[in-house]
Amino acid sequence: MSDSHTRNSQRGASLPATEATDFAALAERIRRQAAQGQSDAVAWRRHLHAHPELSFQEHQTAAYVAKALKEMGIAVQEGVADTGVVGLVEGQLPLPEGMSRDACCTALRADMDALPIREANEVPYRSQNDGVMHACGHDVHTTCLLAAARILQDLRGEFAGTVKLIFQPGEERFPGGASLMIRDGVLENPAPRSVLGQHVHPPLEAGTIGMRPGPYMAAADELYFHVKGRGGHAAHPHLLIDPVLMSSHLILQLQRVVARLARPDQPAVLSIGRVIAEGATNIVPDEARIDGTFRSFDPELRTKAHEAIRAICRGTAEAFGGQIDVDIKVGYPPLYNNEALTERIRAWAGEYLGAEKVLDLEISMGAEDFAYYSQAGEACFWRLGTGNAERGITSPIHTATFDIDESALETGAGLMAWFAVRELAEKASGSPQSRTA
C-alpha cells in the first residue's frame, strides 16, 4: 500500500447528537477505557508481532483472537474463509419500533496476515518466524479491533444494535480474504449497513488520522509476460530471435497504455518490477519473463488497458518474429469511501480527537482488499497515524524496519469503538423507511 500526502482538514464540524445519548460523556468514557486498556493492547500487539503468519496461514493468530474474544464474553464464529474470525457485540438497548436487526448493524474490520520479509528491528517483540514479519501493521489492526471489542462489550448497555467484528485473513494475497469472507456470508446474518476499517500510516504522527471521501485506492491487476525467442551465441545475432531485445521494446511500448489511453486527469499507472533473462555476456537466452502491475480507478479504462496490453504483445512479437504470452490477473477493485458515511466519520473523529488531528488524504495508487466491502455497500477506510519523527519511527510499511509508536493503539481502539456506537445511533435515528430489512 502506498503512502499518501496530507493536509489539514478544513471540514469536520460535529453532527448533532440525539436527545437520548450524551455523546460527549460517552466519548470521554471511551477515551478513559482505551487508556486503561493500553497495557493489554501493547501486550497483544507484541505477541502478534512476534508470531506473524503469512496470508491464509493465520491459524495461530485466529486461535489467539478467538480466545481473547471468548474471554470477553463475545459470541464468536471461527473458520470463516478457513482462518477468519467473526464476533458479535449486541447492544442491550431496544431497537426503535419497526427496525430490523439488519437495519441497525455496523461492522469493524481488521486484517491479520503478515508479509514474507525478514525483520531487521532489534526489539524484544521481534518476529520469531524467520522471513515473516508484520511489516504492514496488520498486528496493529488486529490489536485495535480486539481492544475496541472489549470497550464495546463493556458499553453494550449504552447502545442498540449490533457491531460485527471481522478479523480477516489474506489481505496481502490475491484473491484477498475480504472476497472469500464475503463469499462465506460475513455480510449476512446480520447484514451490516456499513463497514469501517483502518490502516496504519507512518507518515502521519501518532494521535492523528487521515481520510478521503469518494475514490481513494486503486484497482490493481498483475501482469505476467513470457517472451519467447530463439537464443544462441551473442556473436551471431543474425541467427537469433532475441527475447531480451524483444522484452526491452515491449517494456517501452507498454508505457503507451497510460500515456495514450488515460485522460491527463485520470489516475493510472503501469509499472514493471521484475525482468528475468538468464543468459550471459556471450549467451542470448531462449526466453525472458517480465512481471508488472497496472493500477487504475475507471472500469472502462481498465478494460481498454487490458485490450491494449494484449495488442502490444501481439504487435511486438510479430515485429521480432517471436512470441509473447501475457497473463493478466484481475485483482482488487478500486476502494470507494461512501461520501456521506465518510463525512460522518470525519465529524465524529473531530469530536473524539479534535478537528486539527483529522487530516485529508490524497488519492492513493495502492490497493487494498477492503475495496470488496466498499463495492458491496457503504464503507469507510481511513489511515491511523503511527509515526513519531522525534523518536525516529518513520520507516514505511513493507520494509524490514517498519515499527510504530504504540500510543497509536490507544487512538485506534478508541476511535473504532466510538465510530461504531455513533454509527449505530445514526442508524437507530433513521427514517421509518429505513427500518425494514
Euclidean distance between CA atoms 210 and 213, whole angstroms: 11
- Which three cell numbers, joined as nine digits, stand for 325? 504470452
Q: CB-based contacts of 9: which residues, under 8 Å, 6+ apart?
A: 346, 350, 355, 358, 359, 360
SS3 track for the chain: CCCCCEEECCCCCCCCCCCCCCHHHHHHHHHHHHHHCHHHHHHHHHHHHHCCCECCCCHHHHHHHHHHHHHCCCEEEEEECCCEEEEEEECCCCCCCCCCCHHHEEEEEEECCEECCCCCCCCCCCCCCCCCECCCCHHHHHHHHHHHHHHHHHCHHHCCCEEEEEEECCCCCCCCHHHHHHHCCCCCCCCCCEEEEEEEEEEEECCCEEECCEEEECEEEEEEEEEECECEECCCHHHCECHHHHHHHHHHHHCHHHHHHCCCCCCEEEEEEEEECCCECCEECCEEEEEEEEEECCHHHHHHHHHHHHHHHHHHHHHHCCEEEEEEECCCCCEEECHHHHHHHHHHHHHHHCHHHEEEECCECCCCCCHHHHHHCEEEEEEEEEEEHHHCECCCCCCCCCCCCCHHHHHHHHHHHHHHHHHHHHHHCCCHHHCCC
Q: Calculate ∠ Cα 198-200-205, nearest 5°.
A: 115
Residue 95 CB neighbour total at 10 angstroms? 18
Catalytic residue among 53, 113, 139, 405: 113
- Asked if 265 is an active-site residue, the reply is no
- Asked if 171 is an active-site residue, the reply is yes
382: alpha, beta or left? (left if phi > 0; alpha if psi -120 to 50) = beta
Catalytic residue among 111, 119, 158, 171: 171
Active site residues per annotation: 113, 171
